[in-house]
């Protein structure tokens, strides 16, 4: 399961099926239910002061956004296996880094998107994050520097890279 810079998202068949089932529910059963909630709230009268109506409309907006996200993700998705064990940092890889060269101060995370996580308890870092951009394409033993949110520089050394099989 890996995501590449051209916005293709690689998913296992199970991951694809899970996201497709969520989309099917939201575009089917859920849309019917929310339309009924909105209609029932509308029938209660004055919409300006109708908290039930506003809550239902807010819920509708939130889930319509999720429908758009899932639709776009699944349109770009390719179903396949985890990336090859090339030893190169890329989306879909589990990466361990040591901060500032300190082999005792390490962090292990999945470079990818939350849709790739599966049931793992791994932290996930986006390939578009400062750390993700800095380490993409690096190999074990390579060092990379990136800017922290406070404007300071941090450096990491890649200590392990392996495919995520979640």
Quick one: 148 and 101 in the same domain?
Answer: yes
Domain holding 22, by residue range, is: 9-79
pLDDT in tens, the chain (166 residues): 434 444 556 676 777 888 899 999 999 999 999 999 899 888 887 777 788 888 899 999 999 999 999 998 888 877 766 666 778 898 878 899 998 867 788 999 988 776 665 555 778 888 888 999 999 999 999 999 999 889 999 999 999 998 876 5
DSSP code string of 67-134: HHHHHHHHHHEEE-PPPP--SB--TTEEEEEEETT-TTSEEEEEES-GGG-TT---EEE-TTSHHHHH
Tell me, yes or no, whether 104 and 73 share the same domain. Answer: no
Q: What is the total count of domains within the chain? A: 2
One domain, residues 67 and 40: yes
In whole angstroms, give the CA distance from residue 44 to residue 27.
Answer: 26
pLDDT at 144: 94
Is this structure's pTM higher than 0.95?
no
């Amino acid at each position: 399961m890996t995501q590449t810079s051209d916005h293709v998202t690689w998913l296992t068949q199970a991951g694809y099926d899970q996201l497709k089932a969520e989309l099917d529910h939201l575009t089917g059963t859920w849309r019917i239910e929310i339309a009924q909630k909105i209609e029932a709230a509308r029938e209660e009268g004055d919409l300006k002061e109708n908290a039930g109506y506003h809550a239902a409309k807010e819920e509708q907006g939130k889930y319509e956004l999720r429908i758009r996200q899932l639709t776009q993700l699944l349109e770009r998705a390719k179903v396949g296996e985890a990336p090859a064990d090339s030893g190169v940092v890329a989306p879909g890889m589990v990466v361990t880094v040591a901060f500032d060269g300190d082999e005792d101060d390490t962090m292990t995370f999945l470079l990818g998107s939350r849709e790739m996580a599966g049931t793992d308890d791994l932290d996930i870092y986006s390939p578009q994050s400062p750390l993700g951009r800095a380490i993409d394409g690096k190999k074990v033993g390579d060092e990379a520097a990136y800017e922290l949110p406070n404007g300071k520089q941090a450096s990491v050394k890649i200590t392990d890279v392996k495919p995520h099989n979640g």
